[in-house]
């Protein structure tokens, strides 16, 4: 089996690449900068540096499965309305992927990383993937457009696509995610700031658990294809508690008192979903794959803080 990971060096891609490298597959890792070959790889690993805007077919035409993780943002999971580059990368590349795979006699698997914020301001705080979608930002509208493109291609027999809508992710690759950001601020002795009173709740999932969700989706692609699935722990945690845990863990490392957690005026680019509490019922995905989160919040924060301290 030949598996191609597009966006192999990113926050999510690094862990997925490492997990797939432990399997007896032919693995091609593609990123803007040459991704490293995972340590102790069992797979036959090929790495490529490529700007996929120049063409994707040469990288995936022979693939049995494609993990599509490429996304364009301003660095904070947002894009501006009318940003043509974002539209090209976030939607156009998906169309290129489908076109490149049309000639395959057996429809390849495509795993796509969506976001739970595609639903917008759902009526219920606890979402399960059955809610109507009403995205509130350019980025989430682009994610939904790409997801629908892959669903249509699955219906047409071109691919077998599965979209995993990701919640708030954090982990040991310490350059991405709100937990890493707050850990860096705490190590710098800065207060941890919230755009609200701290009662807004988020369903946080550690990066290793996201990795295992993708490998589970690959193993059960036929049963999952043509749908989207929301991922989460099922528990919404107040962000004040999350930030206080970060401050306490950093204090344990430095020996200094924990930095304060404070409320500040929100910035002008705040979106309505930033103030919406969310917890995720992933039972539909669990029913097919058996997947569940395994890394608890305190362990995950401890590991994330340790990674930031060592970076």
CATH number at residue 117: 3.40.50.720
pTM for the whole structure = 0.94
Question: Domain count of the chain?
Answer: 1
CB contact set of 259 (below 8 Å; sequence gap of 6+) = 185, 186, 189, 190, 191, 192, 247, 250, 251
Q: What is the pLDDT of residues 91-125, one digit of tens each?
A: 999 999 999 999 899 999 999 999 999 999 988 99
C-alpha distance from residue 215 to each of 4, 138, 205, 289 (Å): 13, 29, 16, 10
Q: Quick one: 104 exposed, middle or buried, by C-beta within 10 A (0-12, 13-18, 19+)?
A: middle
Q: Where are the alpha helices (DSSP H) in the chain?
A: 11-21, 57-60, 84-87, 93-101, 138-155, 178-187, 207-219, 221-224, 239-254, 283-289, 297-309
Range of 51's domain? 2-167+206-232
Q: Is residue 310 part of a domain?
A: no
Report how far residue 42's alpha carbon sits from residue 20's, in angstroms, rounded to the nearest whole number: 9
Q: What is the pLDDT of residues 130-183, one digit of tens each?
A: 999 999 889 999 999 999 999 999 999 999 999 999 999 999 875 668 899 999
Q: Is residue 156 part of a domain?
A: yes
Q: Is residue 292 part of a domain?
A: no
Which tokens is 97 given? 């992927």
Count CB atoms within 10 A of the CB of residue 106. 7
pLDDT at position 269: 73
Q: Is residue 32 part of a domain?
A: yes
Which helix (H) or strand (E) element contains residue 242? helix 239-254
Res 69 pLDDT > 70: yes
Q: Is residue 240 part of a domain?
A: no
Res 237 pLDDT > 60: yes
Q: Is residue 66 part of a domain?
A: yes
The answer to whether the CB of 308 falls within 8 A of the CB of 184 is yes
Q: Is residue 132 part of a domain?
A: yes
Give residue 265's pLDDT band: very low, low, confident or very high (50, 70, 90). confident
Q: What is the pLDDT of residues 269-310, one digit of tens each?
A: 777 888 899 999 999 999 999 999 999 999 999 999 999 998
Q: Is residue 244 part of a domain?
A: no
């Amino acid at each position: 089996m030949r598996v191609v990971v597009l966006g192999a060096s990113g926050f999510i891609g690094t862990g997925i690449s490492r997990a797939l490298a432990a399997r007896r597959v032919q693995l091609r890792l593609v990123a803007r900068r040459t991704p490293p070959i995972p340590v102790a790889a069992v797979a036959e690993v090929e790495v490529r540096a490529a700007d996929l805007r120049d063409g994707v077919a040469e990288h995936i035409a022979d693939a049995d499965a494609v993990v599509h993780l490429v996304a364009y943002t301003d660095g904070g999971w947002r894009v501006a309305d009318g940003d043509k580059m974002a539209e090209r990368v976030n939607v156009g590349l998906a169309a290129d992927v489908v076109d490149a795979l049309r000639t395959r006699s057996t429809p390849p698997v495509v795993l796509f990383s969506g976001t739970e914020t595609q639903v917008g301001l759902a009526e219920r705080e606890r979402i399960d993937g059955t809610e109507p979608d009403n995205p509130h930002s350019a980025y989430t509208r682009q994610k939904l457009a790409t997801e629908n493109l892959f669903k249509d291609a699955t219906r047409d027999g071109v691919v077998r696509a599965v979209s995993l809508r990701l919640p708030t992710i954090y982990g040991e690759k310490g350059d991405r995610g709100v937990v890493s950001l707050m850990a860096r601020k705490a190590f710098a002795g800065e207060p941890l700031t919230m755009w609200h009173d701290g009662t807004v709740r988020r369903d946080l999932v550690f990066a290793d658990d996201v990795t295992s969700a993708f490998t589970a989706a690959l193993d059960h692609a036929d049963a999952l294809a043509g749908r989207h699935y929301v991922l989460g722990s099922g528990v919404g945690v107040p962000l004040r508690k999350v930030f206080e845990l970060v401050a306490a863990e950093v204090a344990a490392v430095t020996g200094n008192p924990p930095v304060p957690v404070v409320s500040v005026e929100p910035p002008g680019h705040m979106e309505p979903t930033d103030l919406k509490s969310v917890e995720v019922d992933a039972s539909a995905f669990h029913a097919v794959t058996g997947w569940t989160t395994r890394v608890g919040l305190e362990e995950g924060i401890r590991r994330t803080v340790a990674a930031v301290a060592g970076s």
